Amino acid sequence: QVQLVESGGGLVQAGESLRLSCAASGRTFSSYAMGWFRQAPGKEREFVAAISWSGSSTYYVNSMKGRFTISRDNAKNTVYLQMNSLKPEDTAVYYCNAPLLCSDYGCSPTDFGSWGQGTQVTVSS
């Protein structure tokens, strides 16, 4: 099972940017995507973005396209989420997950996958 550690969250003002990192160790699922989910208090955890381990495919929720960019660094076994033009509604705990099963309709975690501990993103107005 892969171990995932998120970092990069923090408190920012609306319109500012953050870059989240998800470092993977242990078992690597190179045939599957890695990605990000987020969860605000009282809400369901929702999909944010994902990337195939090859980097050839990316997946985004439509509402986040143009603001969020997912990328990877194979040498560091790390996935990044560049978050620009942050809005207060982006406030949530952001979780990394791998491996994901992705299609044109979105991405879902697997029963044998792993979650990171989460990193808090707070955007003030």
More confident residue, 104 or 83: 83
Handedness of CA 5, 105, 73, 66 (dihedral sign): negative
Return the percentage of the chain with pLDDT > 90, whole number: 67
Indicate the residue type of 75: A
* pLDDT, the chain, mean: 91
| pLDDT tens, residue by residue, 26-83 | 766 555 789 999 999 999 999 999 998 788 899 998 878 789 999 998 888 899 999 9
Cα 80 to Cα 49: distance, rounded to the nearest angstrom: 10
pLDDT at 113: 87
Residues 6+ apart with CB under 8 A from 102: 33, 35, 50, 52, 57, 59, 108
Place of tokens 């396209």: 65
The CA distance from 94 to 48, in Å, is 9
Q: Select the more confidently predicted residue: 92 or 52.
A: 92
Residue 90 has pLDDT above 90, yes or no: yes
Q: How confident is the model at residue 9 (pLDDT cuts 50, 70, 90)?
A: very high
What is the predicted pLDDT for the residue at 74? 80
Mean pLDDT of 101-111: 87
Q: Which residues pair with 119 in a beta bridge?
A: 94
The confidence score (pLDDT) of residue 112 equals: 85
Which of 57, 60, 2 is CA-nearest to residue 29? 2
